[in-house]
Structure 1
Amino acid sequence: MHSSSNHIRNILVFFFGMFFLLEFCFYISGALFVLSMWGLEYLDFNALNPSISDFPMRLWPTIFNYIHGWWADPKLYGVSNSLKLWLSFAAPLCIVGTVFWNLRHILLEWRPFRKKEALHGDSRWASERDIRKIGLRSRKGLLLGKDQRGYLVADGYQHALLFAPTGSGKGVGFVIPNLLFWEDSLVVHDIKLENYDITSGWRKKIGQEVYVWNPAQPDGVSHCYNPLDWISKKPGQMVDDVQKIANLIMPEQDFWYNEARSLFVGVVLYLLAVPEKVKSFGEVVRTMRSDDVVYNLAVVLDTIGKKIHPVAYMNIAAFLQKADKERSGVVSTMNSSLELWANPLIDTATASSDFNIQEFKKKKITVYVGLTPDNLTRLRPLMQVFYQQATEFLCRALPSDDEPYGVLFMMDEFPTLGKMEQFQTGIAYFRGYRVRLFLIIQDTEQLKGIYEEAGMNSFLSNSTYRITFAANNIETANLISQLIGNKTVSQESLNRPKFLDLNPASRSLHISDTQRALLLPQEVIMLPKDEQILLIESTYPIKSKKIKYYEDKFFTKKLLKSTFVPTQEPYDPDAARGGVDTVAEDVPTSEEGEQQAAIAHEESAQEAQQPQEQHGDEAGYDEFGDYPQDYDYSSEDDEYMEGLDDIEGEDVPLNGEGLDDIGDEDSYPEDHVSDEGHPEEDELSAYKEEPTDSELQDAEDGYGGGDEEPYYEENDGGEPYEADEIRGSEGGVTDVYPEEDEPLAYEEEPTDGELQDAEDEYGSGDEEPYYEESGGDEPYGEDETYDDEDTQPPRRDGKQRDDDNP
């Protein structure tokens, strides 16, 4: 149909052109005929009266004016009417015929009005009709530029990609104008926060909630965002959310990072399960950098193992099963990956959340994500976590009736974020969730270096609007030239005859169609500074002008004072936990924790003897159906209670066995610790049992008679107790402190003999006396040990004793 209409048009144009040519020929030939036949003396110019007033309404050639005058007054020319008529028609026809015959070759090749066939492309610049056809004259949406008729505005949620080298005016021409024009929710990747200073006041005025998240701001001037606040409460989705965060923080794929990611997931899920725990990355750092992280995590499994997520239980248990050196390597890898959150500024800015990502479509919210150029690389993991979470939350469900707004992500210097998998894959479906991307890059090499060729093509093909300024490298210029397209042009070659060669056959004109880019690569590089090229799918390229907001009254009247941003106080984790220690209240690490672990061990042993409850299709699984409950770990008691020599290759105790010994290597004297970090077998007898309370009291009384005065309470009369009133029949201490109604204790200091009796009393218990072997492998005798009052039995570690630390 298109080809047939073109053919009919070409025919009509040809005949119309021939008509004008004939009219011209008739005019000339008629004038020559009259002058040659009769001369000027017979010519009456009033009779000729040449006029084209009747054309084109009557399509009446001017030459017929002569014929009409001839016919009206033939006597004027002195000839008959018939002769006049024939001569009037014959002369112009002869002249026109002669011209056509001599120009027949040129006329046959002449195609000025014929539409070129798209043999090599038919690209051209878009007209106003094309612009209106694709809807670029909207009153709201995304600003793409301007032309002589007004702004180019694209409504909808199609994505845009801008090629703009440094210093080319992308801020004044695109970022700031759109921040002053876009009406829905907005997230701005704002390096140096220049855009916030200029546009935040206007966005606040039009009813937006404005936030500035600048985590590395030295003075703490920033709102807060905590990634762990947005983890799903559903058990299955919860693990998925934490694993995605772990992959962003520790993207490397090797053994240590794989194990560190697994431990990170376990620790985060544990923190989420304990109500008293602070849910933040800083708390993860403090947990992993505690004094004895292995012992603490083991206590977690024993005390609240059934309360935490099964995946947390399995991941932490797998970590505890590793050898000492392997555990140390995993902890070091994880701590190095979380080093950013050891910074108090980052810890404070990520300890809570001031804005709700889930409300971006329900309310109009603007978030400026600020950072300085020197922090681009250091804060990259944190930035990736934020944008990954934001886009994922906004695209989990289609917009509902109570979510009328869309969200625009204005990503200035997009490649500085590194590889964003969520953006690369999500750009294909974000539009359906009312999420729009405006990505700004300097050239194609930035995208190709991060996302490779396939990733770059994905961004190009899914960006409906592609805008380019003057390119700064040949690769980008070649790409833009190819995207603009080619056109078909005619190329003529004329062969002229030799001098004085009258043979017309020796002259020929050859016309051929060839290809030319509508805009060559060098022309893309040389594009004027105030011009830009807009490439839109399904239409011709648009050459337009850049916007300069500071020269346009539409934007200058919107420049208001920036909004207020609060200053965050340094984060206090103890205050956030209500003043508790780094370890949660239900995860003890002291003697109290050992007692609780022993109680838990007894309860677990009793439960192990009871039949397990059936869950689902099989027995032995908890309510999540993820890990077995019916495994009997009691068979491993002996191995864990013998100094934990084989903990590296055994399963971690889950019911309290072995916890008394985990992390206790430092409690033994260094001289009597084996190479594996545990006491020698033949010396364990010295530590089998602890002294009784009475024996401890004897030791206190015995060593209390040094240079210091004895510990006693005064009675109502202010006199000390008599010595014989507080001592038993065998010289032992009956009470640590006297009752309130008892008389005062001894008045004088104990004698040296009494002190010696107390020391002898301590050594007469069930255990063997505490001594060092002599050079002859015999114990020291009493006369060798107690020569005078300053001589005491030497310590087994070779150190000097004192009164406070016998």
Structure 2
Amino acid sequence: MNGTILGMVDRKIIYQNNDTKPNRNVFVVGGPGSYKTQSVVITNVFNETSNSIVVTDPKGEIYEKTAGIKLAQGYQVHVINFANMTSSDRYNPFDYIERDINAETVATKIVQSENKEGKQDVWFSTQRQLLKALILYVTKEKAPKYRNLAGVTQVLQENDVESEDPNDPQSPLDKLFLDLKFDHPARSAYELGFKKAKGEMKASIIESLLATISKFVDEEVAEFTRFSDFDLKDIGRKKIILYVIIPVMDNTYESFINLFFSQLFDELYKLAASNHAELPNPVDFILDEFVNLGKFPKYEEFLATCRGYGIGVTTICQTLTQLQALYGREKAESILGNHAVKICLNAANEVTAKYFSDLLGKSTVKVETGSESTSHSKETSTSKSDSYNYNSRQLMYADEIMLMPDNQSLLVFSNQRPIKAKKAFQFKLFPNADELVHLKQNDYQGKPEQDQLDKLEKLEQEWEQSITDKQSKTEEQQESKEELDNTLAMMNADSKNEEEFEEDYENSEDNDRVGFLD
């Protein structure tokens, strides 16, 4: 079955198919112990058998329990493991730099990793411009094997920021960039940023940048970012499941993880743009622990437009306050509004509970207001009157939502009545899944796709050809210079001979005159 399983009602599956309007985005909120993994994530990983899937996997649990089944379903399995980069496919963000603005995006994300939002001052801007210049330099002026973060670090280590000659104000780093053509993008970025810094500020900026990228100098990380084992666009071309394992209780690589997803979104949009605004193979994103992926500047725009390209997104948070803290109340509302379905597995706080209570709206209830009276006389008599009022009340109050049973959930739709449903536990829908062989995340070994190796070979050939062309051009220039020097030398020699001839001629005339006078 294709589509997203939302829950169960009367033992029947409620699901959202791939043609659902206005979109097939699902927002899920559920705190610890709400069965997010068992009733949403694993259930839908098992269920989808056609679309590509990108699933965040905070502990590697999803990979271990589902990868064997996805292989049996005909999926290519890839893993990007930010928690253990030796058990991962490799990812080089420089491979997706096609324009100067892409280099700025990469530089911004990396510099942000050590600079808290709100403190993006001149130091931040200058670091970013310098890193952008270095990225553009290695991607355009270095051999393919150096077009990565390790290559950037090497350039910084090899070129001092201080001049070695007291009579020459230009440092080795200055000369590296100023020797480039005037309109070279790396030179422009360098001159408009770091080059304008003065005195001790330069050394401080270099020191800060080295501290920022020091985490990428580590041998494990350097190897992880050296090469891309698969093309991100392949997720929209082929039947692939990608597990993105993210560290638990460690935000060291949060900005790097955010960069990965930002580039993935961009690459899928580029692929769709070249394919009549539609992906060759639709893609489902299941983003568990969404707030741990960092802040995406235009996530609401992505949600609003992704359906047309064949993309569906399930955004999963523990509470609404998490989303509001990261994006602000206004943007959080916009993000929520771009999910056609909202699911409450449980409400871990009052803000979340009240939000869903308001979404459910009010209901009219019939309230009996009858009365009974007894009169004491010779014969006791009783009179009774029945009357009713119709009152309005919340369909579910916030406290009722917070006290929901563990197996219950609320489904709220943008264009249908809400439903009180049972959770779609994977162990009930797919009871034999646990009998299959489970894979171990630390046993995974990335293997480069042949297309990527072919692409690298082509780049190396182009690089070698460019070196050959430069050498040939240099030799031609040298030969031209030698020919010019020879021509000038001959011209000088001819000129000298002519001067000597004229001098000899004048001397001979003088002799003739002397003889004549004698």
TM-score, normalised to structure 2, is: 0.76
CA separation in 2, counterparts of 1:265 and 1:210? 33
> How far apart are 1:207 and its partner, in Å?
1.9
Contact 2:97 2:103 in 1 (8 A): yes
Q: In the alignment, which of 428, 435, 444 is matched to residue 565 of structure 1? A: 444
Can you give the 5+ residue segments of structure 2 that lack an aligned partner in the other structure?
113-118, 163-170, 448-455, 458-465, 468-473, 482-518
Q: Partner of 1:249 in structure 2?
A: 110
Q: Partner of 2:484 in structure 1?
A: none
- Structure having the larger proportion of residues in helix: 2
CA separation in 2, counterparts of 1:419 and 1:311? 28
> How far apart are 1:494 and its partner, in Å?
3.6
Q: Partner of 1:617 in structure 2?
A: none
Matched, 1:203 2:70: yes
1:712-751 residue CA offsets vs partner (Å, 9 max, x unmatched): xxxxxxxxxxxxxxxxxxxxxxxxxxxxxxxxxxxxxxxx
Residue correspondence of structure 1 range 612-761 to structure 2 within 5 A: none
Residue correspondence of structure 1 range 246-395 to structure 2 within 5 A: 246-251=107-112, 252-276=119-143, 278-290=146-158, 292-293=160-161, 295-305=171-181, 310-318=184-192, 319-375=194-250, 377-395=251-269
Residue correspondence of structure 1 range 442-481 to structure 2 within 5 A: 442-481=318-357
**DSSP 3-state at the match of 1:421:** coil
Q: Partner of 1:616 in structure 2?
A: none
Matched, 1:192 2:68: no
How many residues are aligned here? 429
Contact 2:104 2:132 in 1 (8 A): yes
Change (3 A) 1:558 1:389: farther
Instruction: Flag the structure with more relative contact order, 1 or 2, with Cα contacts below 8 A and sequence separation at least 6.
Output: 2
Q: Partner of 1:758 in structure 2?
A: none
Q: Partner of 1:514 in structure 2?
A: 391
1:645-667 residue CA offsets vs partner (Å, 9 max, x unmatched): xxxxxxxxxxxxxxxxxxxxxxx
> How far apart are 1:560 and its partner, in Å?
3.7
Contact 2:53 2:242 in 1 (8 A): yes
Farther-moved stretch of structure 1 (272-281 vs 552-561)? 552-561
User: Quick one: which amino acid aligns to residue 325 of structure 2?
Assistant: G
**DSSP 3-state at the match of 1:420:** coil
> How far apart are 1:554 and its partner, in Å?
5.6
> How far apart are 1:321 and its partner, in Å?
4.1
Residue correspondence of structure 1 range 391-470 to structure 2 within 5 A: 391-396=265-270, 397-398=272-273, 400=275, 403-470=279-346
Contact 1:180 1:558 in 2 (8 A): no
Q: Partner of 1:148 in structure 2?
A: 10
Residue correspondence of structure 1 range 83-232 to structure 2 within 5 A: 139-156=1-18, 158-183=24-49, 184-217=51-84, 220-232=86-98
Q: In the alignment, which of 515, 524, 527 is matched to residue 404 of structure 2? A: 527
**DSSP 3-state at the match of 2:369:** strand
CA separation in 1, counterparts of 2:2 and 2:196? 60
Q: Partner of 1:666 in structure 2?
A: none
Can you give the 5+ residue segments of structure 1 that lack an aligned partner in the other structure?
1-138, 233-237, 569-575, 578-585, 588-595, 604-806
CA separation in 2, counterparts of 1:555 and 1:525? 33
> How far apart are 1:567 and its partner, in Å?
6.6
CA separation in 1, counterparts of 2:105 and 2:160? 28
CA separation in 2, counterparts of 1:328 and 1:439? 43
Residue correspondence of structure 1 range 228-239 to structure 2 within 5 A: 228-232=94-98, 238-239=99-100
Aligned identity (percent) is 24
Contact 1:287 1:293 in 2 (8 A): no
User: Quick one: which amino acid aligns to residue 248 of structure 1?
Assistant: K
> How far apart are 1:171 and its partner, in Å?
0.8
The Cα RMSD (Å) is: 3.2
- Structure having the larger proportion of residues in strand: 2
CA separation in 2, counterparts of 1:471 and 1:206? 35
Contact 1:180 1:555 in 2 (8 A): no
Contact 1:215 1:371 in 2 (8 A): yes
Change (3 A) 1:246 1:302: closer
Q: Partner of 2:491 in structure 1?
A: none
**DSSP 3-state at the match of 1:463:** coil
Change (3 A) 1:321 1:456: closer
> How far apart are 1:517 and its partner, in Å?
1.2
CA separation in 2, counterparts of 1:422 and 1:338? 25
Contact 1:388 1:422 in 2 (8 A): no
Change (3 A) 1:310 1:373: same
Contact 1:412 1:441 in 2 (8 A): yes
Contact 1:199 1:559 in 2 (8 A): no
Contact 1:146 1:547 in 2 (8 A): yes
CA separation in 1, counterparts of 2:246 and 2:384? 73
CA separation in 1, counterparts of 2:386 and 2:3? 54
CA separation in 2, counterparts of 1:310 and 1:442? 47
Contact 2:279 2:309 in 1 (8 A): no
CA separation in 2, counterparts of 1:421 and 1:302? 34
Q: Partner of 1:745 in structure 2?
A: none
> How far apart are 1:366 and its partner, in Å?
1.5
CA separation in 2, counterparts of 1:467 and 1:559? 30
Change (3 A) 1:324 1:259: same
TM-score, normalised to structure 1, is: 0.50
